[in-house]
Structure 1
Amino acid sequence: PETSTSYQIGYQGQLSDTVNLTVNGFYNEIDDLIQTDEDNASFEGNIAIYKYMNVDSAKTYGGDIGIDWQVDERAKLQASYAYLKTHNNVTDTELTYKPNHKAMLALDYQLNDKLQLIPRLNYESKQLISTSEQAYSPSWWTLDSKLNYDATANLSLYAAINNIFDVQRDITDTSDYRPIDNREWLLGASYHW
């Protein structure tokens, strides 16, 4: 079984009437870390079959920051960034499937009293997938957008496009772990009574 000793510190507060801030930091010492590695996988064609393995000794550290800013009565901006550094103490390499950087930027904009636009930009840095080959999956950006319409006091409609730029993994490249889903168009409704 995996065991760890963790140290964490964080702050959450309201910097002003319009700005909220969250900051967290952490450090973990881990024994017998349970993880997957492409080195421990078998392949049937392009399908990888993974087995869990233990890393005798590892450490992780990093932090994250998040800001919510009510720009004005119509617009709210949200931003977050997370940093993660990992170390396999046995192989002196990074740990697999742990990107160093993740970021998100979203705007919640009220176009009028019935219509709301919510674009969201996401980023994830490259990540190690094979310790022995030092193979990395590429970094990626995605952009999603959603439009909400309050048709009545009880009925809401929405239209959304996820992954607008159609960022998708190359299934012929076993080192590519970008998103599986391609561009997605959604229409929906919800009724409240």
Structure 2
Amino acid sequence: MDLPRSAGARLPSPLSFFETDHGILDAGDGFAIDIESLEKSLSATYALSFEGERLNSTLSLAFTEVDNLAALSETEDGVPLLTQMQESASVGAADITLNYALNDNLSIGGTLETYDYDDVFRESFAIAPVEQRALFNLDYKADYWMLYASATWVGARDLDEFGYKGFNQLGDTSLKGTNADAYWTLDMKLTFDVSENLSLYLGGNNLTDYTQVEEGETPLFWDASGAYDVAYIYGPLRGREFYLGFDWNL
């Protein structure tokens, strides 16, 4: 079976807000840009869906190859540099989504995702991306009430593959850990419809209160030259939070 194919070209993404701010404020050195060509990509995707009376499912496969992939680096003087990879980069992805209606009020679902980055793609990332993820959700609605709950599992990663390296303390020879353990997060939201125009809601994010800092790894690190940065990130940095609000439609 032939897969649908698409090709595209775009300007490489700009520096992030953090890196732009860092470049402006860091000793007045600013930031540098070394871009010569448009970023070009060629993708092939395939999706197979099933829709039944109670069960819906979709299986998706995708492969993307990118030329002139944008990457964040730095000059010998430590100035942030937006540049491009010299070799083609590629990534393969697969996911399956299932949703099952237990009855008229309650449904459950889940999604499994996996991403396979080649070495060039891995080198381009400033922050290690998710490689395996599972999402499970529950929806319940009855009369004026609606409850939504979502649990997310992120698989373990080897940060060495993404170039992570740094010291916990200045002048210390103890390297920061490069094994990012798997973790869970849980989000919930409860909504009550007061009227056709007004809804009240209460919810919470990251109810498991997992952060990488709790595991002993802050984003802060030093390199061999004594310079520091706060980009040693692989997991949530914000812990448990609650919110309360309303929606009013005029």
TM-score (norm 2): 0.62
Q: Does 1:180 align with 2:210?
A: no
Distance 2:186 2:203 in 1: 11
How far the C-alpha of 1:51 sits from its partner, in A, is 3.9
Structure 1 residue ranges, 4+ long, deviating more than 3 angstroms after superposition: 49-53, 93-96, 126-130, 132-139, 172-176
Q: In 2, are the aligned partners of 1:9 and 1:26 still within 8 Å (CA)?
A: yes
**Structure 1 position 113 matched with structure 2 position 143:** yes
Question: Which structure shows the bigger proportion of residues in strand conformation?
Answer: 1
Shift of 1:83: 0.8
Alignment of 1:1-193 (within 5 A): 1-14=38-51, 16-36=52-72, 40=73, 51-55=81-85, 56-88=87-119, 96=125, 97-110=128-141, 112-127=142-157, 128=159, 130-131=162-163, 133=165, 135=178, 137-170=180-213, 171=218, 174=221, 175-193=232-250
Greater RCO (Cα-Cα under 8 Å, separation 6 or more): 1
Q: Residues of 1 paired with 2:212 and 2:247: CA distance?
A: 32
| Distance of 2:192 and 2:105 partners within structure 1 | 15
Structure 2: give runs of 5+ residues left out of the alignment: 1-37, 166-176, 222-231
From the superposition, tell whether residues 172 and 21 of structure 1 become closer, same or farther in structure 2 (CA, over 3 Å): closer
Gaps of 5+ in 1: 43-48
Tell me the number of residue pairs that the alignment of Structure 1 and Structure 2 aligns: 181
- The structure that is helix-richer by fraction is 2
Q: Are the aligned partners of 1:74 and 1:109 in contact in 2 as well (CA < 8 Å)?
A: yes
1:95 CA displacement: 6.1
Offset at residue 140 of structure 1 (A): 2.6
- The AA in structure 1 aligned to 2:103 is D
Q: Percent identity?
A: 23
Q: What is the root-mean-square deviation in Å for CA atoms of aligned residues?
A: 2.9
SS in 2 for 1:180: coil
Deviations 1:159-189 (A, max 9, x none): 0011111112323555332123221111111
Q: CA deviation at 1:153?
A: 3.0
Using the TM superposition, give the Cα deviation of residue 89 of structure 1 relative to its aligned residue in structure 2, in angstroms.
5.2
- Whether the 8 Å CA contact 2:210–2:236 is kept in 1: the answer is yes
The structure that has the greater radius of gyration is: 2
